Amino acid sequence: MAEVRGHEGRAHEPGQVQLQEQGQVQEQGHGSELEQAHRQEHEPAQKQELGRVVTVAHRGAAGYAPENTMAAFRLALDMNADMVELDVQLSKDGELVVIHDDTVDRTTDGTGRVADLTLAELRKLDAGCRFQEGGRYAGEAIPLLTEVLELCRGKAGVLIELKWPELHQGLEQALAEQLQASGMCGPEHHIIVQSFDEESVKRFRSLLPEIPVGLLVEDESELTAEKLTETAAFADYVNPYLGFASKSLVEAVHAAGLRIFCWTVRTREAVQPLLDAGVDGIITDNPDYIAES
């Protein structure tokens, strides 16, 4: 699926809760020293604390249950994943829902663009019926972000991807408000927000600077030492495609003051090279592959 890049988004709607004012995103960069110190205090459980790599269950344990469903997230917790990864978008009526594609066609029994469907319309869809055969997961709904946050509260961290921000005006604002309303911005909840869209990452950072943020990278040219220094000015993580991982990249990432989670492990063979490279986290459809390595 081709990803649309490079949009700037629009000004966000006024929030229900007190958030940082926008408009200083580019200039603000990584923020003041005080903000940086605050974020460091609030960073999620890290490899160094765990004494091992951080296991992040991609779209839940998507190798074993339908991606981005409560069944997949529950399974990820059962498999002792340190974090779950999910994709968040806005319904037509502005609710934060958990689904990867910009349409519902691939993962549900419906059709249409997520942004064109109301929450009520999305919730009628079956997000489990297309997973494998046998219908074991039929009837799984598209989750609300709040449902996943509540499931993970006290049990696992959550790596939240701002998905298709160019299609969802106000996505960052809505997420920042919901995280604040959930009371899960503290370090014990291990929340990280990431996106492929640099401007989206910066917008979110400007709204809720205490939450660590990451830039997803699918183009190796974004991983030069110069680019890493630029990324470190507004993010805490750089999270590239696993094929780019190497010891020297990890050293460069760490030298720039960033951490690195790589995606997406779907084979057992893919694990050891990432461990050898020294990455901080592994994002995987199969959390058991990491535990067994």
Q: Which residues lie near ligand G3P (CB under 6 A)?
A: 58, 85, 87, 100, 161, 216, 263-264, 283
Cα→Cα distances 239→18, 134, 191, 243, 249, Å: 29, 35, 15, 11, 11
Q: Which does 264 bind (CB under 5 to 8 A by kind): Ca ion, ligand G3P, none?
A: ligand G3P
DSSP E strand boundaries for 163-249: 191-195, 213-217, 237-240
Q: Which residue is nearest to ligand G3P (CB)?
A: 263
Count other C-beta atoms under 10 Å from residue 154's C-beta.
9
Q: Which does 283 bind (CB under 5 to 8 A by kind): ligand G3P, Ca ion, none?
A: ligand G3P
Q: Of residues 67, 82, 87, 140, which one binds Ca ion by CB under 5 A?
A: 87
C-beta closer to ligand G3P: residue 87 or 140: 87
Residues recognised as catalytic? 58, 100
C-beta closer to ligand G3P: residue 206 or 264: 264
What is the closest distance, in whole angstroms, from the C-beta atom of residue 135 to Ca ion in the complex?
Answer: 26
Q: How far is CA 57 from the centre of its chain?
A: 11
C-alpha–C-alpha distance, residues 179 and 172, integer Å: 11
C-beta closer to Ca ion: residue 102 or 161: 161
Alpha-carbon dihedral sign for residues 171, 166, 127, 217: negative
C-beta closer to Ca ion: residue 75 or 283: 283
97: which strand partners? 89, 144
C-beta closer to ligand G3P: residue 85 or 95: 85
What number of H helices and E strands is found in the chain?
Answer: 12, 9
Cα→Cα distances 15→102, 175, 196, 206, 293, Å: 25, 10, 24, 14, 45
Site for Ca ion in 144-203 (CB under 5 A): 161
C-beta closer to Ca ion: residue 20 or 237: 237
What is the closest distance, in whole angstroms, from the C-beta atom of residue 73 to ligand G3P in the complex?
Answer: 14
CB 164 within 8 A of CB 193: no
DSSP structural state of residue 268: G
What is the closest distance, in whole angstroms, from the C-beta atom of residue 27 to ligand G3P in the complex?
Answer: 28
CB 119 within 8 A of CB 97: yes
Pairing of strands 54-57, 261-265: unpaired
CB 68 within 8 A of CB 86: yes
What is the closest distance, in whole angstroms, from the C-beta atom of residue 85 to Ca ion in the complex?
Answer: 6
List interacting residues with Ca ion (CB under 5 A).
Answer: 87, 161
